[in-house]
Amino acid sequence: MEISKDLSLKEIKLPKSWEKKPNETEYMDFVFQEAVEMGAWRKDNEADILTHHHGTDSARFFWPNADFEGLVLGGELMVWFFAFDEIFDGGFIEDDESEQYRLVNRMNRVFLEGILEDDSTGAERMGYHLRNKVKEKCGERRLSTFHRFNSSCVQWVDSIIPFNKLKKNQKSLDLDLFLYHRKFNIGIIPCFMISEIILDPMSSIDSFIWSDSRWIKMCEHICEIITIINDCASYDKEIKENGGLLNSLKFVQLEKNLNMQEAFEYLSNYSNELIKQYIELQTSFLKSYKTTKNSDDYNSILTSIVDNIHGLTCATIGWSIQCPRYLSHTHPFVELRRNTEIITKICNLNK
């Protein structure tokens, strides 16, 4: 790929205050052993080891203030995402629609009914473990969080087949249609639920707050911003793997007849408008609820959850620019461009 001009993720104007230092990494080996015992990963398989480390490494960026137990919970969610999604992305059942729906229905039963089949897969066992763990942590006091977590997981599972169908028989996609599907398929909404559990262990925040339409819209904005960041970070990888039809930076070039620089300018402007709208909603949202109770602890917890949600945007960049699966010496974004020697060193550090 010929690079005519350096692109930079800094054109997506995330507030500096959203940046946080990533957490420690000790949880990753613990979660790997769990995943091996459940059959989600194979102990000595290099591809599984790398997928695990690349995937679960994101938890320390997503939850920078979590304790070990919280990081384990976040890591388990990432194992479930990657292990189940790999079945569909890996080409194993690409042309077998009946098998795709069979696996989707089985996974949905795990979350909807708490039922694990006798011939369960590793991904299903991890999902079952995750569901039960969240239920135990939530208890009777915050069943609403447990149910919303389950719903978000089912929503993600249900999004996989329709999202993959978007690329069939189409030369390019409409950005609005793509983002509508992708905000569920990106997998960030279950992360919001995990943030609630980690940052509000005593359920201090009234559950009705999370049904506020402003909060829901704030979360949707964050999902769309992260989608665009993720597409920019994964651009070189997806183009080389012929996955460009589901990458917004690529199909905006095709749809609008733009070069790469112009397409990124379009997407960064779109993202910056979302950031502006998000900040306006956040200001209004916090103003409404930080005054409902005269409690410094209550206000502090509420603020920490909101901070964590928008912090996921910077966390996505922080994780992406050191993730070997995205780095390349031909990458159009300077933050992700590395020579082969540096990429090899980073891979070795992540093993």
The Cα–Cα gap between 299 and 293 comes to 8
Radius of gyration of the chain (CA): 20
The Cα–Cα gap between 159 and 183 comes to 10
**By CB neighbour count within 10 A (0-12 exposed, 13-18 middle, 19+ buried), where does 136 fall?**
exposed
Residue 6: partners with Cβ closer than 8 Å, 6 or more residues away: 332, 333, 334
Q: Is 300 helix (H, G, I), strand (E, B) or coil?
A: helix
Cβ count near 66 (within 10 Å): 23
Closest CA to 268 of 5, 15, 13: 13
The pTM for the full model equals 0.93
Q: Is 337 helix (H, G, I), strand (E, B) or coil?
A: strand
Q: Is 45 helix (H, G, I), strand (E, B) or coil?
A: coil
The amino acid at 322? Q
Token pair listed for 290: 């930080």
Closest CA to 279 of 329, 206, 218, 205: 218
The pLDDT value recorded for residue 342 is 52
Q: Is 326 helix (H, G, I), strand (E, B) or coil?
A: coil
Give the alpha-carbon dihedral of 175, 234, 97, 116, to 10 degrees: -110
Per-residue confidence of the chain (351 residues) as pLDDT tens digits?
344 578 999 999 999 999 999 999 999 999 999 999 999 999 999 999 999 999 999 999 999 999 999 999 999 999 999 999 998 876 667 778 899 999 999 999 999 999 999 999 999 999 999 999 999 999 988 899 999 999 999 999 999 999 988 877 566 788 999 999 999 999 999 999 999 999 998 888 988 999 999 999 999 999 999 999 999 999 999 999 887 889 999 999 999 999 999 999 999 999 999 999 999 999 999 999 986 666 778 899 999 999 999 999 999 999 999 998 899 999 999 999 986 555 455 445 444
Q: From its phi and psi, is residue 91 left (phi > 0), alpha (psi between -120 and 50) or beta?
A: left
Q: What is the CA angle 17-22-24, rounded to 5? A: 155
Cβ proximity of 330 and 2 under 8 Å = no
Cβ count near 88 (within 10 Å): 17
Cβ proximity of 30 and 69 under 8 Å = no
Token pair listed for 254: 């095709």
Q: Where are the alpha helices (DSSP H) in 39-93?
A: 46-56, 58-62, 68-89
